[in-house]
Structure 1
Amino acid sequence: MFRDSQAIFEFRGPWGVPVRIGASILLMFLLFVSTSGSGTDILYDLGFVAMLIVSVFLHEMGHAWGALIQKIPVRGVMIHGFGGYCQQARTSTPRESELIVAMGPIVTLTLWAVSRLIANAMWDAGHEYNTVLWFFETMAWLNGYLAIFNLLPVAPLDGGKLFELILLRFMRGKNASIVTGYIGLAVLALLIPYLIFGAHMYIFVLFFLPAVVENWNRMRGQTY
């Protein structure tokens, strides 16, 4: 929900799309490593962060593919410590946006499904729990969580965008934006107490502050 525009590394991804790595990715590494214990824990935490970065990268490339397949040029993809985003060279129509937005969650759900199937097959075969099995179990859990989180009807998450695009089929743009804002604030009101008192992930509440502001502005009709 933050947008990091300061790149520390850049390379060419699939279809020649420029991929930039934001400076805030270092903050994510520090957050995970700072809570590690032994050297083994640090290695597993670094592995988890690497899987997270790869999962976000593939998710954003899904968005890029959704644009390119509809002849919409893509300026680049940014991966940063709080997620990522795909930059299009031109604004897409609501119908074009439906595929572009949906392709990110579709890729994430595919990663979850494939990882879950492989992990289950390894368990069924009596495979001993080791690094390989940990990898697929973690990839399944990680992408399952990312899919659920990202599909929440909260702007600017993909779920919020898809919700608004669906509303646009039945109402005018400003009204769709206002309804999305109301729903987004309601979901955030339910989610933030859970993060504080249920999951004890209080630090991640800070990541939601920009979403609160955006959905508040939508509710007041200021973002259309």
Structure 2
Amino acid sequence: MFGNNILFFEFRGPFGIPIQIANSILLLVLFYIWMAGSDILWALGVVSILLVSIVLHELGHGWAAQVQGVPVRRIVIHGGGGFCERKRAASAYEQEFIVAMGPIVNLAIWAVASLWADVMWAGIFVDANLAENPQELFAGPRAQAAEWLSMIAYINGFLALFNLIPVQPLDGGKLLQLILLRLVSARAALRVTGAIGLALSVIWIPAMLLIYWSGGWLLFFIPSIPYHWALMQGRLA
């Protein structure tokens, strides 16, 4: 949806990979500022965590590509997420590792941040039982740091699960097709991937609205129904 946005910022990230930021990021920032109302600092903090997590996700793809000898042209971050563009095509086996590393990075961040937050909260509760005014501890900097660690864990857990949904071009859709290639013909893998993706694409918008109404979270990404229909017909490679 935002893959071809105008780029307004670029820097060289780890492993020498150029990282480009598209102007649609501003839509994401404005949305969370609008949602936060007067708490602009919270909105900027959440957007910052989200963007850093997406960058690390794409760097996971980039690292997995480069260690297998597949050079990376660039990483682009836009309002709908991001993508890692390679300089050459990768084999199916190379792609399995490349695609899987994105969600693995988010899951690793989720695990570390969750454990760290739990340890901090446990210490706060122990100290609160001994303090004369425990409310000060729950409003203090340690508690705020624990809350932000919990937010980092939440966002990365969400990104990992979100990206594993089996629709194209999410990692889940790519992994599904790559796994099917080990079991059936390329055409059959294409058709099955398209059929599953088509069913999920049809219910995508009501599902995203439900997530927004229940939790306030929204990503500017909608899978293409015509694309998955073509996949199901075996008309796209």
Q: TM-score, normalised by structure 2?
A: 0.86
Q: Does 1:37 align with 2:24?
A: no
Structure 2: how far apart are the matches of 1:54 and 1:4?
20
The number of residues matched between the two structures is 221
Letter in 2 for 1:164: Q
Q: In the TM superposition, what whole-angstrom CA distance separates every residue of 1:72-122 from its partner, at most 9, and x where no partner exists?
A: 110010011110000100000000000000000100100110110011111
Q: TM-score, normalised by structure 1?
A: 0.91
Q: Is the 8 A contact 1:56 1:83 kept in 2?
A: yes
Task: Give 5+ residue unaligned stretches, structure 1.
Answer: none
Q: What RMSD over aligned residues (CA atoms) do the two structures have, in Å?
A: 2.0
| Structure 2 partner of 1:70 | 68
- The secondary structure found in structure 1 opposite 2:8 is strand
Shift of 1:190: 4.2
Q: Is the 8 A contact 2:36 2:43 kept in 1?
A: yes
Q: Is the 8 A contact 1:59 1:108 kept in 2?
A: yes
| Structure 2 partner of 1:140 | 153
Structure 2: how far apart are the matches of 1:205 and 1:58?
17
The match for 2:50 among 46, 49, 52 is 52
Structure 2: how far apart are the matches of 1:174 and 1:2?
29
Closer, same or farther: CA 98–146 of 1 in aligned 2, 3 Å: same
Structure 2: how far apart are the matches of 1:146 and 1:198?
14
* Equivalences for residues 40-189 of structure 1 within 5 A: 41-126=39-124, 128-129=137-138, 130-189=143-202
Task: Give 5+ residue unaligned stretches, structure 2.
Answer: 126-136
Q: Is the 8 A contact 1:4 1:23 kept in 2?
A: no
- The secondary structure found in structure 2 opposite 1:171 is coil
Q: Is the 8 A contact 1:154 1:211 kept in 2?
A: no
| Structure 1 partner of 2:14 | 14
Which region of structure 1 is more displaced relative to structure 2, 143-152 or 58-67?
143-152
Q: Does 1:207 align with 2:221?
A: yes
Closer, same or farther: CA 175–2 of 1 in aligned 2, 3 Å: farther
| Structure 1 partner of 2:133 | none
Q: In the TM superposition, what whole-angstrom CA distance separates every residue of 1:17-73 from its partner, at most 9, and x where no partner exists?
A: 1110011111111111122222xx110011000000000000000000010000111
Structure 2: how far apart are the matches of 1:36 and 1:57?
23
Structure 2: how far apart are the matches of 1:21 and 1:90?
22
| Structure 1 partner of 2:128 | none
Structure 1: how far apart are the matches of 2:55 and 2:235?
31
